[in-house]
Amino acid sequence: MTASAEIELIRLLEQEKLERVSPKLEAFRHPARIKGCRGGRGAGAKSWSIISLALQTAHRTRTHIVFLREVQLTLEESVWKLVRDTVSRLRYPGWVVTKEYIDCPRTGSHIIFRGLSDLRADQIKSLEDFDLAIIEEAQSVSSHSLDILFPTIRKPGSEIWFAMNPDEEIDPIVARTWGSGRDDMILVDLLPGPVDNPWWTNELQKEMDEDFKRDPDLAEHVWNGAPRIQGNKSVMARSAIRAAMDRNFERDLDADIELGIDVARFGDDRSVIFKRQGFKVADYKIFTKLDTQELSRVAWDMADRNPLVRIKVDDTGVGGGVTDKLRDMGALVVPINNGGAPANKKLYTSTADEQWFEFPIDLADIPDNPELMAELSARQYHYTRDDRRQIESKADFKKRYGRSPDLADALLLCYYSPKILQWGPA
């Protein structure tokens, strides 16, 4: 290798290192209409990575980019400074930085910063030719703003990116993306720590540990990206769910194995299987568009084809097909009618209520999964006229959240042990 070639190789390797982003956010390099990420402080270096990716694109090809937030009274409230600093950090020459815009004359790329709620009709129309819209603090953007923005960014091949740390149980951007069932999105959940953030430091770890000691609920929002506000009528406290996720029991090989299956009913719902041994979740699987026959075979394999393993199936609707197939294969099936009468009729109105309120949250060892956390903590309830507790319907939850609580329902089925139940095949 010649000296000049060696110098060029070193330069390219150094540039590659400068352009590195959070491993999970490497997915943003692939084309998709919507690209979003959510997480708390230090989780995947969200803004840092997204801005780097956008500038890398703009430095190589002509790209018009608008950075948006719900309200932007001054430029200093935007990510203008971070964009400016990232141009410098990436060592990109020839860029022009002003208080109005940031440009790359070499490629013709153009970057501006706007507040969605302040845009006039003519300003909104001017965004139609933009290639990329990046929403800052997306949890604060209103449904009305999103209704205007999504069809405005309409250029062929255009994309909408966003990053967020949730405020409410169901922010509008979550319902429109994570809860929509669209197939043209790349959505990433990020957790704090060195796995999702290669630039994680001992100092960050120390601050996170101290915050969890001082105020676990607030720390769950700040660091793990849980909604800032949990509804007053939520069935389960987020702190209790976090404790269950942080448990790490040794697997009790002598304990009984049980499965719970929530079967998809509609196109965007998911079929979910949870397997536990004793109080510890041993495995779980999530499927989309899997027919009942194949789902039954997967469940039978997860049960090690053991006819003594209890497999509890949400038997309403299409779940009946799973019950029938498992019985044909020799499984010990327990069909559960979530709308049926509970064992304790004085406290609950249905079997589903009983599952939610009788779940042994203080004993269980469950997976640390952001979607599971959101579903468990977001399900709400109310009191009936005769003072029984009743969870909100799946339809109402889906209206708020954007999708069914499939993971939570399968988990609760897995742990459900009603006092009055005829085990085994009918």
Residue 104: which CATH number? Answer: 3.40.50.300
Domain membership of residue 66 (yes or no) is yes
The reported pLDDT for the residue numbered 422 is 39
pLDDT of residue 224: 81
Statement to judge: residues 410 and 326 lie in one domain: yes
Range of the domain at 381: 231-415
420 lies in some domain: no
What's the rounded Cα separation, in Å, for the pair 227 and 230?
A: 7
Structure tokens given for 240: 């209790």
Same domain, 260 and 168: no
Same domain, residue pair 238 and 164 = no
Assess whether 239 and 354 both reside in one domain.
yes
pLDDT tens per residue, range 196-231:
888 899 999 999 999 888 887 778 878 887 776 565
Residue 282: predicted pLDDT: 95
Evaluate whether residue 219 is within a structural domain. Answer: no
pLDDT at 221: 78
The CATH number for 305's domain is 3.30.420.240
Domain assignment of residue 352, yes or no:
yes
Tell whether 24 and 168 lie within a shared domain. Answer: yes
Both 130 and 250 in one domain: the answer is no
pLDDT the model gives residue 228: 65
- Spatial distance between the Cα atoms of 325 and 346, rounded to a whole number of angstroms: 35
Q: Are residues 169 and 316 in the same domain?
A: no
Measured between alpha carbons, how far is 308 from 387 in angstroms, rounded to an integer? 39
Residue 77 lies in a domain: yes
The total of structural domains in the chain comes to: 2
pLDDT tens sequence across 329-339: 999 999 999 88
Question: Is residue 307 located within the same domain as residue 368?
Answer: yes
The last residue of one of the domains, among 161, 189, 217, is 189
Q: Mark the ranges of the chain whose per-residue pLDDT is less than 70.
A: 5-12, 73, 76-77, 168-170, 179, 228-232, 266-268, 402, 418-426
Instruction: With respect to residue 238, please indicate whether it lies within any of the assigned structural domains.
Output: yes
User: Is 337 a member of any domain?
Assistant: yes
Examine the domain organization and report whether 72 and 125 are in the same domain: yes
User: Is 188:37 a contact under the CB 8 Å cutoff?
Assistant: yes
Q: Do 282 and 354 belong together in one domain?
A: yes
Same domain, 392 and 245: yes
pLDDT at 348: 92
Asked if residue 209 is part of any domain, the answer here is: no
**Judgement on whether residues 98 and 247 belong to the same structural domain of the protein:** no
